[in-house]
Amino acid sequence: MNRGTALLATVLRAGRGRLLPTLLLAAAALLLQHIEQTPLQTLQASQFDRYQRLAPRPRDAEPVIVVAIDSQSLATHGQWPWPRDLIARLLERIQGGQPLAVGLDFVFAERDQQAPALIAERLPPAAGALLRQLPDPDATLAARLAVAPTTLAVVGLARQLPGARLPVHPLPALQLPLTVDRALPQFSSALASRPELQAAAAGEGFINATPGAPGEHGERSILRRVPTLAMIRDQPYLSLPLEMVRQALGAGAVVAEPGSAGMQAIRIGDYRLPTQANGELLLHFGKASASYYLSAADVLAGKYPPATFADRFVIVGFNSIGLQDRVVSPLGDSLPGVDVHAQVIESLLAGTALRRPAWLPLLETGALLAGGLLLIAAVPALRPRYAVFSFSLLGLLMVGGGYAAFLAGRWLFDGASVTLLLGPVFMALLGNTLIAADARRRAAERHLQRSREEAARVAGELDAARRIQMGLLPDPGQRFAGESRFAVGALLEPALAVGGDYYDCFMLDRQRLCIAIGDVSGKGVPASLFMAISKTLGSTLLRRHGDLAAAVRDIEGELSRENPAFLFVTAFIGILDVDRGTLDYACAGHDAPLLRRAGRVARIDTAAVAGPPLCALGDYPYATARLQLQAGDLLCLFTDGVSEAGSGDALFGGERLATCLAALPEAAPDALCRAIRDKVREFEAGAAPADDLTLLLLRWDGA
């Protein structure tokens, strides 16, 4: 690991892996609180657009008709601006159907340039006199406007422009709390129609779509918010579509509902729309439709019966490429600006708008903190795969919750940004989890490696110990090579690497053969060490003493002298006069040997002289007995590794050993040892041997 990754790991693991995620979470919360200043704003806006595309506002009723100055109208009646008497005629056609309200999406700021009086000024006075007698088009339009409540458009201006004119129809009796007043868009100036037209119209509504600093986040291309209420030179005005509705309702009062930081809704008559604090409406768009667009040329030509306009809101506006810029809705539709007015009216009548009150961003921050703390608590305790699962689930919950909130009540909850901001927190947590898992795995590997090395080392030492132990045991075939009076075979197989059994066989002199077998209590290293002492001490003392019983008592005495672990040894020791066939023996708690004579096997009766194991009492007066062998007799010394070899609960046992010995053919003793060993292993049926297995066979062949 180089220094860079080590530093990274240290940072990740600080505070038990929770410090960095907590800091990241705090940063995420701060970021979410000020999302307007971050690129995340774009993500949030497009997420809200996705909601709308998933469920656009249904447009069942068509309360609005747009009479559009379209390409066909321009082809028929010539270039814009049209003479105002033509507009008056258009208005007359519409008014014939008794519409609820009419709105003109134009500002007639200057005099009609085609007014006969203006043309007359460029003619000789005689020719102009006739023209001067023709009606003034502005006067004609003003007269037409006065027939029914009509709303004119106003453009709010941030600064004084030449030709600027203030509107003259402010909202009546509107009491605005200071907080609302301050939150609303403020225009110091405006561009309104000529005074005589203003005077003839019933109301004026502004048509600014994006007041303030439009497009400061690149939002100019997609229209999501429209203002409802604005202050023009400290006088309150509604937007054009809302003013039309107010006029239809009898030009009553409007209520701006105050919220925690400004406005929260606007009420016109019985209709109510939730708004942002600055009075902006988050418009829930419906799919674009051409069905309510009528060409102004067709209307002028009388193609539609007057009933077409009955009980409808009629907006006259542009729908022609080249006359005005178009807006793009969140649904992806390219719309003429006048369509936005129609959608505002529809929304007000249905009382539906997108809702994102001031507390909703706080809820998002709360969700972020709750989710983050949950991750910080849970991820370090989980396995990596469940950790990933937990984060996916949380993200799914946040994003799904956002969709659900929109579908249920048009709430704009930004689950995507919350999930995105939880990402770094989770990555830091997961990184730490993975580092911890990796460290554990490495530690486990190191530990395993150490265990293996340790095991190999111990095995090596045990192997050495085994070779030393086996080296202590004599090889009878080698030791008695060329001997004709008797034959000895022996075999020892420890249950563990080293064991506590031993055997011995040696000539005390030319005539006397000493055989011994022993079994130290227990097995493994402690038993093997005691075995080595017992065996060496035994052979030494037996060679020194003439008397077997005295030798055995001496062996016990010497062994007991240094025996802190209180081990003891069972042993059978015999001295055979190889010329006469007399066997003197002593038994210290050991199994009585078997004797095969003429095909029959019997146990030597050691009961009369048998004592407890060596070192069990420490001062037992062992005695010896004598047995006369016959030529061909086979003596079988064994340890409990043979008699107590187990298979399940059953033991091999003395009886089975006797039967086995009886059945064996005449053969060299070492071959017979192997045959018996094979029988025992067969009986164990593959089970690990419980104890050391030792056999010593002596055949006396006579002098």
Closer residue to another protein, CB minimum distance, 48 or 568:
568
CA separation for the pair 414, 41 (Å, rounded): 10
Structure tokens, 658? 């006797």
Q: Which of 523, 553, 596, 677 binds another protein (CB under 8 A)?
A: 523
Within positions 29 to 48, which residues make up the interface with another protein, using CB under 8 A? none
Closer residue to another protein, CB minimum distance, 43 or 496:
496
Q: Which amino acid is at 591?
A: D
E strand or H helix that includes residue 274 = strand 271-274
Q: Which of 577, 690, 701, 702 binds another protein (CB under 8 A)?
A: 690
Residue with tokens 């090395």: 453
Residue 255 CB neighbour total at 10 angstroms: 15
Closer residue to another protein, CB minimum distance, 31 or 651:
651
Closer residue to another protein, CB minimum distance, 202 or 627:
627
Which of helix, strand or coil describes residue 699? Answer: strand
Within positions 568 to 627, which residues make up the interface with another protein, using CB under 8 A? 568, 570, 589-592, 607, 610-613, 616-617, 620
Q: Which residues contact 359 (CB under 8 A, 6 or more apart)?
A: 260
Phi and psi at residue 643, to the nearest 5°: -70, -25
Phi-psi region at 575: left, alpha or beta (left = phi > 0; alpha = psi -120 to 50): beta
Closer residue to another protein, CB minimum distance, 13 or 656:
656
Within positions 382 to 441, which residues make up the interface with another protein, using CB under 8 A? none
Closer residue to another protein, CB minimum distance, 122 or 561:
561
**Binding region for another protein (CB under 8 A) out of 123-131, 214-222, 312-320, 516-524:** 516-524
Within positions 286 to 315, which residues make up the interface with another protein, using CB under 8 A? none
Considering the complex, what minimum distance in angstroms separates the CB of residue 586 from another protein?
12
Interaction between residue 691 and another protein (CB under 8 A): yes
Strands 293-295 and 64-69: parallel
Strands 600-603 and 486-493: unpaired
Considering the complex, what minimum distance in angstroms separates the CB of residue 658 from another protein?
14
Closer residue to another protein, CB minimum distance, 574 or 669:
574
Considering the complex, what minimum distance in angstroms separates the CB of residue 363 from another protein?
59
Considering the complex, what minimum distance in angstroms separates the CB of residue 566 from another protein?
5
**Binding region for another protein (CB under 8 A) out of 109-117, 192-200, 385-393, 518-526:** 518-526
**Binding region for another protein (CB under 8 A) out of 19-27, 234-242, 643-651, 693-701:** 643-651
Residue with tokens 């429209």: 226
Considering the complex, what minimum distance in angstroms separates the CB of residue 563 from another protein?
11
Considering the complex, what minimum distance in angstroms separates the CB of residue 592 from another protein?
7
Considering the complex, what minimum distance in angstroms separates the CB of residue 639 from another protein?
9
Considering the complex, what minimum distance in angstroms separates the CB of residue 662 from another protein?
21
Structure tokens, 94? 């519409």
Considering the complex, what minimum distance in angstroms separates the CB of residue 649 from another protein?
7
Q: Give the DSSP per-residue string, 295-343.
A: EHHHHHTT-S-GGGGTT-EEEEEE-STTTS-EEE-TTS-EEEHHHHHHH
Closer residue to another protein, CB minimum distance, 99 or 641:
641
Q: Calculate the CA dihedral of residues 114, 120, 123, 126 and round it to 10 degrees.
A: 150
Pick from 590, 682, 599: which is nearest to 645 by CA? 682
Considering the complex, what minimum distance in angstroms separates the CB of residue 616 from another protein?
5
**Binding region for another protein (CB under 8 A) out of 48-56, 158-166, 486-494, 644-652:** 644-652
Phi and psi at residue 279, to the nearest 5°: 80, 5
Considering the complex, what minimum distance in angstroms separates the CB of residue 691 from another protein?
7
Within positions 536 to 575, which residues make up the interface with another protein, using CB under 8 A? 566-568, 570
Interaction between residue 528 and another protein (CB under 8 A): no
Considering the complex, what minimum distance in angstroms separates the CB of residue 654 from another protein?
8
Closer residue to another protein, CB minimum distance, 589 or 669:
589
Which of helix, strand or coil describes residue 602? Answer: strand
Phi and psi at residue 232, to the nearest 5°: -110, 110
Interaction between residue 689 and another protein (CB under 8 A): no
Closer residue to another protein, CB minimum distance, 206 or 572:
572
Q: Which residues contact 97 (CB under 8 A, 6 or more apart)?
A: 305, 306, 307, 308, 309, 310, 312
Considering the complex, what minimum distance in angstroms separates the CB of residue 475 from another protein?
26
Closer residue to another protein, CB minimum distance, 219 or 644:
644
Closer residue to another protein, CB minimum distance, 411 or 585:
585
Interaction between residue 651 and another protein (CB under 8 A): yes
CA separation for the pair 364, 417 (Å, rounded): 9
Q: Which of 181, 519, 554, 556 binds another protein (CB under 8 A)?
A: 519
E strand or H helix that includes residue 577 = strand 569-577
Closer residue to another protein, CB minimum distance, 524 or 632:
524
Closer residue to another protein, CB minimum distance, 333 or 644:
644
Pick from 547, 538, 516, 563: which is nearest to 622 by CA? 547
Interaction between residue 521 and another protein (CB under 8 A): yes
Phi and psi at residue 252, to the nearest 5°: -85, -170
Using alpha carbons only, how large is the chain's radius of gyration in Å? 57
Pick from 267, 292, 361, 229: which is nearest to 61 by CA? 292
Closer residue to another protein, CB minimum distance, 337 or 524:
524
Contact assessment for residue 249 and residue 268, using Cβ atoms and an 8 Å cutoff: yes
CA distances from 510 to 383, 479, 540, 577 (A): 78, 13, 17, 9
Closer residue to another protein, CB minimum distance, 640 or 670:
640
CA separation for the pair 502, 591 (Å, rounded): 14
Considering the complex, what minimum distance in angstroms separates the CB of residue 552 from another protein?
13
Size of residue set near another protein by CB under 8 A: 27
Considering the complex, what minimum distance in angstroms separates the CB of residue 699 from another protein?
24
Q: Give the DSSP per-residue string, 336-398.
A: EHHHHHHHHHHHHHHT---B--THHHHHHHHHHHHHHHHHHHHGGGS-HHHHHHHHHHHHHHH
Considering the complex, what minimum distance in angstroms separates the CB of residue 546 from another protein?
25
| Cis upstream peptide for 81 (omega within 30°) | yes
Q: Which of 298, 644, 684, 701 binds another protein (CB under 8 A)?
A: 644
Q: Which residues form the interface with another protein (CB under 8 A)?
A: 519-523, 566-568, 570, 589-592, 607, 610-613, 616-617, 620, 640, 644, 649, 651, 690-691
